[in-house]
Chain A
Amino acid sequence: MTRTQLAGGVFLTHLPAKKFKTNLLSAQFVVPLRWETASANALLAAILRRGTASCPDMGALAARLDQLYGARIDYTVRKKGEAQCVGFVASLIDDCFAPGSERLLEPAAALLGELICRPVTRDGLFLEEYFESEKTNLIDAIRSILNDKRSYADSRLLQEMCTGEPYGVPRLGNEQITAALHPQLLFEAYRDLISTSRLEIFYSGSAERSRVEDALRAALEGLPRKDLVPLPELAPHALPEEPRFITERLDVTQGKLGMGFSCGSDDAAAMLLGNTLFGGSSNSKLFLNVREKLSLCYYASSLFHRQKGLITVSSGIEFENYQKACGEILTQLEAVQKGELEAWELEAARSTLLNAYASMGDSQGKLENFFLGQAATGRDETPEMLAEQIRAVAPERIFEAMSTVKLDTVYFLQGKEAEA
């Protein structure tokens, strides 16, 4: 792995590998996550994907991609810590599998560059019809989070818990702000995005670095570069004096319970292990007790938000089991804090994490997502270095780190007719 600077604020992470059928090429702008700009950036990615000066509509773009043996270029909008990452991920088959052994990296990179630098425009703005249709699609996408009740509940918990903090901003922003966007504003946002934000590029595949660099330099020749707007330091989460309890009602058959915790420790490796023991795997305390022992749910898991120092728990339960499930989840947290563990549990948690780091190099998608997260939050450890840190954690460090975990917010989604 190497990370080099291609131009002002443009970085290439080169991940050489000959074992894949495909090459992955990703270009991501990294910007602060803010209510005011999140929806505009999300909309930009979608509009840019509609057409370029040379391929002005979906038909022309699709034809170009088909010619490259069904290369895909998808726009992505992701949240990494308190940064929003917007851009494109391209996947194309490796040259050696093209029946005519054509070179596919260069034309794919060129198209990626065009999507960023040369959108189709009219009178200095995006096409009105693209603007309107993608704005409608974005509003629909924001509303459709409701359709998956588990993600909806998870997202509502974070919003409630981190009100007033960038971390509470959903990756697509919200409906009201999207509705207020207009074409001039959006084109200005586009100019700002491509000229003043850091661009992180990732390549995984068989091509040597110099070939990838050459292809990208040519592709991004038209990219305007000004002084970069720096990413602000991530703000620590403010713990409320008393835990907050929020209940919402929708017409559902299963209740969704979300519990948010703040963590006071900056020992990330110990927290990762602690969280894996608590609810991060199918051998965790939550799985074995809330599900297997008490049969309260099908899923009960916890997630450690490393960049922000939070843990969130997510579960689906019968409405009337709300108290029982909350109580059991807290009991299991306490067990981890007190170190009530069998030897195999720690061994399993450590092996689970080590296996995940060891196999990351086998997936281009996982590699890209991992290194983007690192770049967006100013870290430079490789999976191997993180694995080394996990190996070095003694049990006491876990209990100490987990002892700083405090209940912050409880969110419960229940049915319309259910008794409170």
Chain B
Amino acid sequence: MKPVHYERLGETIYRETLPNGLKICVIPKPDHAKKYAFFATRYGGMDIRFQLNGRWLDTPAGIAHYLEHKMFDTKEGNALQRLAKNGAEPNAFTSNAMTGYYFDSTSHFDENLEILLSFVSVPYFTGESVAKEQGIIAQEIRMIEDNPDWQIYARMLRALYSVSTARTSIAGTVESISRITAETLYDCHKAFYTPSNMILTVVGNVDPVKVSDLARRILPKEGGPVIPRDYGSEPEAVGAKEARMAMEVSSPQFLAGWKCRPVPEGEERLRRLILGSLACDLLFGESSPLYQRLYSQGLVNSSFGGDFEQMPGVAFLYAGGESKEPHTVANELQKEADRLIREGFDEDYFQRALRSSFGSSLRGLNSFENIAVSLTEGCFGGFDPFRFPQIFDAVTQEDILNFLRDNMTADRAVLSEIVPKEA
């Protein structure tokens, strides 16, 4: 394991790639009681069409998430219970491009890590156990369908993208999951849960060499082939300008989204992530003149916020919250972006925002979960997230203005709205 010390963050990362292709990152935290392990595959809600053994497979929407639910089943019973006996709190999530399994514990760490690596790498399900999960996941889907935040975000993605599988719901629909069988789940596991498609990250008071030895012992000796995936070839233009839905909510909610240019893998991804997030801060963050004006006019409240996100082949920026006049706020956002592109930022304000954003990135390193997820995304995207101080040092006003010029134009914008149902 090779250590790299990050002076400005006060952290050290031990890294290694095993002969089977598994990448391991260990971040020692000698003063913490909690030890955290995160084991992730580069496989998520977007990966529904891919090639296995030379044949293109079309799988039902929601299958990566379904597989996540079923992975906890083992020949010896449910892995949750074995981990719980040791006081470990295990869980998992599926995002658009990743499925991650994790636990934290304060004792029996080696044994817990062994359980984690075993249950994620060895699938065990039957037709019956797969069918039984339909009811549970159907209720998870019903729950998110009643959630306005989810609806508004999902509808924004469907407005932004007309082809890309970024528009596919991660959990799928009650209909699509009814087509999932044990056989398809085994196929997907075989394709994506190979060591060469996975990352293991451990944060806490652990010995990096022991982690690496354990992974060598438990995981398959062979990696897997690179799996070609088809996310669809997304046109430059947005799919639809507006999306609107009525729900049982107390006031209108909205998200204004901008379809941004995607970024190839490499350090440019990290730079773009920082530029996008700085653009959000500068344009509509709490310190921004626009936010203060909209807030004092009563057009937005503290629910207002936004972010910049990247997924395979796509990138987008969004802002929103509750508002009595979503269209007015969306227009104001566009007008402010246009104005900044023309006039630039006040230099003092720009420097303040940089300083503040650096502090936020540093604050993120308090969270083991956040460290593990960002290192994993870095491994998948070909960058090192702990290099953020160096990127901050080099950012100029012109970089942000170029970002706005390239990405925040009116033709790239969509508006997703939820309005209260008429009584």
Contacts and interface: CB of A to CB of B under 8 A. Distances in A.
Contact of A21 (B85, B106, B301, B363): B363
Interface stretch (A140-148, A177-185, A237-245, A394-402): A140-148
A153 to B, nearest CB: 11
A364 B132 CA distance: 40
A111 B337 CA distance: 32
Given A22-B366, A129-B296, A250-B248, A282 B84 contact: yes
B301 A283 contact: no
B142 A253 contact: yes
B400 to A, nearest CB: 16
Nearest to B142: A254
B251 A148 contact: no
B81 A348 contact: yes
Interface in A1-41: 17-22
A295 B298 contact: no
A251 B148 CA distance: 13
B146 A364 contact: no
B75 interface: no
Interface string A247-267: 000111110000000000000
Contacts of B10: 21, 96-97
B353 interface: yes
A316 interface: yes
A133 B362 contact: no
Given A63-B352, A355-B105, A359-B104, A298 B362 contact: no
B292 to A, nearest CB: 5
Interface stretch (B30-38, B228-236, B404-412): B30-38
A144 B89 contact: no
Interface stretch (B133-141, B184-192, B266-274, B311-319): B133-141
Nearest to B367: A363
Nearest to A58: B292
Given A66-B287, A359-B106, A362-B32, A146 B135 contact: no
A169 interface: no
B34 A352 contact: no
B135 A295 contact: yes
Given A66-B353, A252-B248, A91 B89 contact: no
Contacts of A306: none
Contacts of A297: 136, 139
A359 B34 contact: yes
B86 A351 contact: yes
B29 interface: yes
B78 interface: yes
A254 B146 contact: yes
B147 interface: yes
B358 A355 contact: no
B359 interface: yes
Contact of A69 (B140, B251, B287, B356): B356
Contact of B88 (A67, A97, A148, A355): A355
A149 B289 CA distance: 34
B81 A344 contact: yes
Interface in A328-377: 344, 347-348, 351-352, 354-356, 358-359, 361-364
A292 interface: yes
A66 B145 CA distance: 38
A147 B250 contact: yes
Contact of B287 (A59, A145, A250): A59
Contacts of B84: 281-283, 348, 351-352
A316 B87 contact: no
A318 interface: yes
B366 A20 contact: yes
B355 interface: yes
A296 interface: yes
A281 B81 CA distance: 10
A317 B139 contact: yes
Interface in B339-362: 352-353, 355-360, 362
A283 B87 contact: no
Interface in A137-190: 137, 140-141, 143-150
Nearest to A49: B302
Nearest to A291: B136
Nearest to A297: B139
Given A251-B247, A344-B85, A355-B87, 15 more contacts: A21-B365, A69-B356, A97-B8, A97-B9, A133-B296, A143-B251, A253-B142, A254-B146, A296-B139, A348-B81, A351-B84, A352-B89, A354-B106, A355-B105, A358-B107
20 contacts: A22-B363, A58-B286, A59-B292, A62-B292, A66-B355, A70-B363, A97-B362, A144-B249, A145-B250, A282-B89, A282-B91, A316-B143, A318-B139, A344-B85, A347-B85, A351-B88, A356-B89, A359-B34, A359-B106, A364-B366
Interface of B: 8-10, 29, 31-34, 78, 80-81, 84-91, 104-107, 132-137, 139-140, 142-143, 145-149, 247-251, 253, 286-287, 289, 291-292, 295-296, 298, 301-303, 322, 352-353, 355-360, 362-363, 365-366, 368, 421
